[in-house]
């Protein structure tokens, strides 16, 4: 038995694969516009059939995030939100019966400052199931991945279109839970369409690994979700969701949650 046998994210993808289904992974900025709204969104997504969600931990110098997510991070940090408050919100979500597999998108600067062992233990205890560390290099992942696994946390790694083939395979070998395939070179953001070679690249990577592959960056509508999931195990949507949160942030919480949840439901529909 490995340390990840009971991991929600690993089990979620195993169950979906067994049922011949694919995953939608919404990305939202933790505590944007506030902690209570984030928790309410998680419950709403789960009610609509979402199985896993990424929570972005706000950071002052995001690595690959476009203007929409950068702005949400900046506003959240300006309100003085701290990592400990986000962990406590996740804990409340679990105590309220929340069952989504939760993935923390977090800079290694935050992890390093809190010390890797302490961060992983605290995140796992709060209710996170995995981490994505966009500024963790492959060379450093060799030590971090087993450390995460020892805490029951999956370490999800990113592969870019420009990553050389040999390095892609090494990254895949260190990635747990799923492999995050970045669809385009550059930063996150909504796009009308993805490069046609994305599907071919995912299919090629699939020949070399059994780990689930999810595609992110630029996915913003149900058609693109359906398209990438012809080859991938899941689609990640961030900027399109965060923009809708931003557009509704001054509305009553119930209205924001309903509007954003309805959009997430539309994204999920092709996969049900």
Question: Domain residue spans in the chain?
Answer: 20-271
Average pLDDT over residues 202-207: 94
Looking at the predicted structure, is the pLDDT value of residue 103 above 90? yes
Q: Which of 65, 129, 145, 190 is catalytic?
A: 65
Is the pLDDT higher at 37 or at 1?
A: 37
| Lowest mean per-residue pLDDT among 57-71, 72-86, 95-109, 246-260 | 57-71
Instruction: Render the burial of 115-130: b for 16+ CB within 10 Å, e for the rest.
Output: ebeebbbbbbebbbbb
- Enter the pTM of the model: 0.94
Average pLDDT over residues 202-227: 93
Among this protein's residues, is 54 annotated catalytic?
yes
| Average pLDDT over all residues of the chain | 92
CA distance 160 to 192: 19
Among this protein's residues, is 65 annotated catalytic?
yes
The string of pLDDT tens digits covering residues 2-27 is 579 899 999 999 999 999 999 999 99
* Whether CATH 3.20.20.70 fits 20-271: yes
CA distance 56 to 53: 10
Strands annotated E in the chain: 23-29, 52-56, 101-105, 130-132, 154-159, 179-182, 213-216, 234-237
* Pick from 47, 27, 67, 81: nearest CA to 236: 27
Kindly indicate the confidence band of residue 60, based on its pLDDT and cuts at 50, 70 and 90.
confident
Looking at the predicted structure, is the pLDDT value of residue 55 above 70? yes
The count of other CB atoms within 10 Å of the CB of residue 40 is 18
Kindly indicate the confidence band of residue 218, based on its pLDDT and cuts at 50, 70 and 90.
confident
Looking at the predicted structure, is the pLDDT value of residue 1 above 60? no
pLDDT at 62: 61
- The percent of residues in the chain predicted with pLDDT above 70, rounded, is 93
Q: Which of 6, 15, 34, 54 is catalytic?
A: 54
The string of pLDDT tens digits covering residues 148-158 is 999 999 999 99
The string of pLDDT tens digits covering residues 168-199 is 999 999 999 999 999 865 444 444 556 678 88
Beta strand 179-182 with 213-216: parallel, antiparallel or unpaired?
Answer: parallel
């Amino acid at each position: 038995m490995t340390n990840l046998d009971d991991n929600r994210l690993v089990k979620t993808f195993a169950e979906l694969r067994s049922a011949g289904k694919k995953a939608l992974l919404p990305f939202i900025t933790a505590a944007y516009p506030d902690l209570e709204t984030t928790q309410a969104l998680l419950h709403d997504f789960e009610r609509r059939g979402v199985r896993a969600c990424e929570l972005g931990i706000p950071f002052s110098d995001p690595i690959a995030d476009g203007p929409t997510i950068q702005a949400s991070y900046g506003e959240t940090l300006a309100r003085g939100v701290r990592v400990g408050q986000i962990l406590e919100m996740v804990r409340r979500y679990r105590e309220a019966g929340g069952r989504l597999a939760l993935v923390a998108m977090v800079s290694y600067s935050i992890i390093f400052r809190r010390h890797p062992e302490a961060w992983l233990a605290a995140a796992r205890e709060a209710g996170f199931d995995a981490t994505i560390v966009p500024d963790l290099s492959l060379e450093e992942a060799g030590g971090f991945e087993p450390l995460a696994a020892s805490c029951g946390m999956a370490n999800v790694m990113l592969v870019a279109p420009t990553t050389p083939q040999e390095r892609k395979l090494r990254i895949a070998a260190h990635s747990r839970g799923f492999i995050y395939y970045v669809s385009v070179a550059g930063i996150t953001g909504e796009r009308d369409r993805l490069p046609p070679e994305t599907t071919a690249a995912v299919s090629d990577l699939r020949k070399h690994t059994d780990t689930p592959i999810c595609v992110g960056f630029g996915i913003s509508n149900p058609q693109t979700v359906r398209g990438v999931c012809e080859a991938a195990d899941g689609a990640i949507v961030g900027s399109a969701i965060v923009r809708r949160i931003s557009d509704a942030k001054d509305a009553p919480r119930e209205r924001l949650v309903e509007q954003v949840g309805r959009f997430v439901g539309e994204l999920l529909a092709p996969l049900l």
